[in-house]
Structure 1
Amino acid sequence: MTPPRLGLSRHKDGPAPDPALDDAELAAARDSLLRGRWSDVRTLLSRTGEDWDRRGHRVVVLAEHPACATWAQEWRLAEPDSADAVTLLGVATVFLAVRGRATPSAAREICQAAARMAPKDPTPWLGTLIMARRTGTDDERARAFDQVRARHRDHHHAHHLMVACLAEHQSGDADDPLHEVYDFASWAAEQAPADSPLAVLPVIAHTERYRVLAGAGLLPSDPAACGHWSTRRARQVMKAAFDWWLEWDGEDVRHPRHKIDLNYLAHAKYLEGRLPEAAALISRIGGHVTHAPWSYPDRDPKKAFRAARDAALGAH
């Protein structure tokens, strides 16, 4: 349900990254949950608190495993007043419904129960949005997104899901430069704080549209072989974001784009199909890569800058 992550192979036999990414606590709690020890998940989600982006990522990664719903239900029965237990069960039921192993109405009902128990938490509405993308109407998707944004206006995962949903609106046999997904992405980027990774959402909009058009057979599957305007525009938007990053010298935190770093640019290049360029950016980032653009926005971009600078100096 999430956008492709850096390092995810396009070949079925290739390596795939752990969805937990670099969150060791999440990986450990997930392993405990699959052994029936849901108390470790309770501790993890309690410690996550109101870091809504991280909480959403953690719940989604836990909930995606087919066995999660069983243990989340046991947790709910043991602690019926736990909003965390109901939220996890709701999102896990969403993924079961996506796989045809539960009904969408059951998934929505549990997510709504979780939303009533934790009215400040956008995560139950994120589950509803994931469900609505697969089975809902445009109005249901918009309503779920609005509920997420009302609780956390810069929610990364929800914005990426809405871009994917809007990009899939297709009429006729050609692209429209005024397609609604471009307006949405530009609006969201303008509304976000200057240091938000949503600044590159317009790039994601162009790459998602290319995915849809290529999937419909309207464009070649290889973006490098296509001179379509959307790929050129995506590169222009990406270059602008890269220029903002280069203007920051690694020390001046007053720069309005001081938290934009190479991770987002590498992710955008990957989505565009420009794998060698994405790999080159990853090598510059060194050990500080963040695999998904909504994960862990609080990591220190100065480390990535210094790694890139040292790599550049070492190359000479």
Structure 2
Amino acid sequence: MSLPPPPPGRARRTADVPCDAALDDSELRVARAALAQGRRQPARSLLARTGDDWDRRGHRITVLALDPYSAAWAGEWLGAEPGSADAAALVALAEVRRVLRGKDRPARARAACGRAAALAPADPTPWLGLLMLERALGGRREVVRAFEEVRARHADHHHAHHLMVARLAERRATAGPDPLHEVYDFAHWAAERAPADSPLAVLPVVAHAERYRVLATAGFAPADPAGSAHWRGRPARQALGAAFDWWLEWEQDGHPRRLVDLNYLAHATYCEGRGAEAAALLRRIGEQVTPEPWAYPDRDPRTAFQEACDRTLGR
């Protein structure tokens, strides 16, 4: 649910808005809180209701797996119901999280993903977990294989595409700016072939943001994206225009699946000199703060973007 705009003359203090990976999914919040207390029934019911809405299922299991104790609670659930594909998928993604936190061995997580995939051959979620793991630790062949397995089950899986954009953006990090970098081709290819109502329409903007993250880390771009030419030029304007128009249409239609990174879009809008639109967009994002893994590491982009928009509007 979007928050109301701040009173005239005052900018909303974004630090007061909690960063919750569950976004606006209230049912997920309830199930997550119960699972943290060792009660699995709310999570069990939630995933059963989610069914084969693969994007939403992937998001919900990913968030449930974030808790440090999820692996233990999900393991007990799987022990009680050995044939449960939901429990096995949660175990798999929780094990992936443990590896990414440095608490376990990759082989254990890979095996858990394999067992979950065997229990539900049509479900892309175990392969999403493997993609998360290989995106951080694997080679190119392992990453591509996991991504293709996800796409074979759900061709427009938005989380998997975000992971691939982030991984591709990191290739040739020391080569400097390159308008022909492969990440842009990949993002435009995915956006062009996706259905009209797909969140992949915003992927070209995400590609610009992820590549900027890499260039800034390598010292080829300033820390403040507003001072960079990276967001200017015809390709950036085309990507921005298409994504912004898509988002407005989606929002007006009340589309229920808005689990996409609108912060990047607001940022690009501001950098193209459309400060008023960016400020309005940030307000409408409200509590839908960017979840990992496609947020900038070690910084809150939403706060920086809001402050930049406020400066532009003279607040």
Q: Normalized against structure 1, the TM-score is what?
A: 0.78
**Separation in 2 of the partners of 1:71 and 1:244?**
40
Q: Which amino acid aligns with 1:183?
A: D
Residues 231 and 211 (structure 1), Cα distance of their counterparts in 2 relative to 1, 3 Å cut: farther
**Separation in 2 of the partners of 1:45 and 1:166?**
31
Aligned 1:88-127 pairs, distance under 5 A: 88-127=90-129
**Separation in 2 of the partners of 1:249 and 1:35?**
36
CA-to-partner distance for each residue in 1:96-136, whole Å, 9 max, x for gaps?
00011011110010001100110000000000000001110
- Contact 1:223–1:231, Cα closer than 8 Å, also in 2: no
Aligned residues: 275
- Contact 2:206–2:261, Cα closer than 8 Å, also in 1: no
- Equivalent pairs: percent with the same residue? 55
From 53, 64, 67, give the equivalent of 1:65. Answer: 67
**Separation in 1 of the partners of 2:228 and 2:181?**
19
- Contact 1:68–1:92, Cα closer than 8 Å, also in 2: yes
Is the partner of 1:54 in helix, strand or coil? helix
Residues 260 and 223 (structure 1), Cα distance of their counterparts in 2 relative to 1, 3 Å cut: farther
Residue aligning to 2:312: none
How far apart are residue 56 of structure 1 and its match? 0.3
**Separation in 2 of the partners of 1:260 and 1:238?**
22
Q: Which amino acid aligns with 1:116?
A: A
Q: Which amino acid aligns with 1:269?
A: L
**Separation in 2 of the partners of 1:84 and 1:54?**
13
RMSD of Structure 2 on Structure 1 (CA): 3.2
Residues 232 and 222 (structure 1), Cα distance of their counterparts in 2 relative to 1, 3 Å cut: farther
**Separation in 1 of the partners of 2:95 and 2:200?**
28
Residues 278 and 229 (structure 1), Cα distance of their counterparts in 2 relative to 1, 3 Å cut: closer
How far apart are residue 37 of structure 1 and its match? 0.6
Residues 140 and 230 (structure 1), Cα distance of their counterparts in 2 relative to 1, 3 Å cut: farther
Return 5+ residue gaps in structure 1 as ranges: 1-12, 252-257, 294-316
Residue aligning to 2:282: 282
- Contact 1:245–1:260, Cα closer than 8 Å, also in 2: no
Residue aligning to 1:241: 243
- Contact 1:196–1:259, Cα closer than 8 Å, also in 2: no
How far apart are residue 244 of structure 1 and its match? 5.6
Residue aligning to 1:37: 39
Residue aligning to 1:136: 138
From 74, 77, 81, give the equivalent of 1:75. Answer: 77
CA-to-partner distance for each residue in 1:14-58, whole Å, 9 max, x for gaps?
753221111111111111111111122111111110010100000
**Separation in 2 of the partners of 1:116 and 1:196?**
28
How far apart are residue 227 of structure 1 and its match? 1.9
- Contact 2:170–2:211, Cα closer than 8 Å, also in 1: yes
How far apart are residue 235 of structure 1 and its match? 3.8
CA-to-partner distance for each residue in 1:206-236, whole Å, 9 max, x for gaps?
1110010001111101111112366774343
**Separation in 2 of the partners of 1:260 and 1:26?**
15
- Contact 1:206–1:233, Cα closer than 8 Å, also in 2: no
Q: Which amino acid aligns with 1:281?
A: L
How far apart are residue 269 of structure 1 and its match? 3.2
**Separation in 2 of the partners of 1:86 and 1:61?**
15
**Separation in 2 of the partners of 1:133 and 1:186?**
20
**Separation in 1 of the partners of 2:206 and 2:285?**
23
How far apart are residue 242 of structure 1 and its match? 3.0
How far apart are residue 180 of structure 1 and its match? 0.9
Q: Normalized against structure 2, the TM-score is what?
A: 0.78
From 209, 212, 216, give the equivalent of 1:210. Answer: 212
**Separation in 1 of the partners of 2:288 and 2:32?**
20
- Contact 1:126–1:148, Cα closer than 8 Å, also in 2: yes
Is the partner of 2:65 in helix, strand or coil? helix
1:198 aligns with 2:194: no
Return 5+ residue gaps in structure 2 as ranges: 1-14, 292-315
Residue aligning to 2:306: none
Residues 26 and 260 (structure 1), Cα distance of their counterparts in 2 relative to 1, 3 Å cut: closer
* Bigger Cα displacement from structure 2, 186-195 vs 113-122: 186-195
Is the partner of 2:229 in helix, strand or coil? coil
Residue aligning to 2:296: none
**Separation in 2 of the partners of 1:286 and 1:211?**
22
**Separation in 2 of the partners of 1:220 and 1:79?**
52
Residue aligning to 1:182: 184
How far apart are residue 197 of structure 1 and its match? 1.7
How far apart are residue 80 of structure 1 and its match? 1.0
- Contact 1:72–1:89, Cα closer than 8 Å, also in 2: yes
Higher relative contact order (CA 8 A, sep 6+): 2
Residue aligning to 2:300: none
* Bigger Cα displacement from structure 2, 225-234 vs 127-136: 225-234
Residues 43 and 260 (structure 1), Cα distance of their counterparts in 2 relative to 1, 3 Å cut: closer
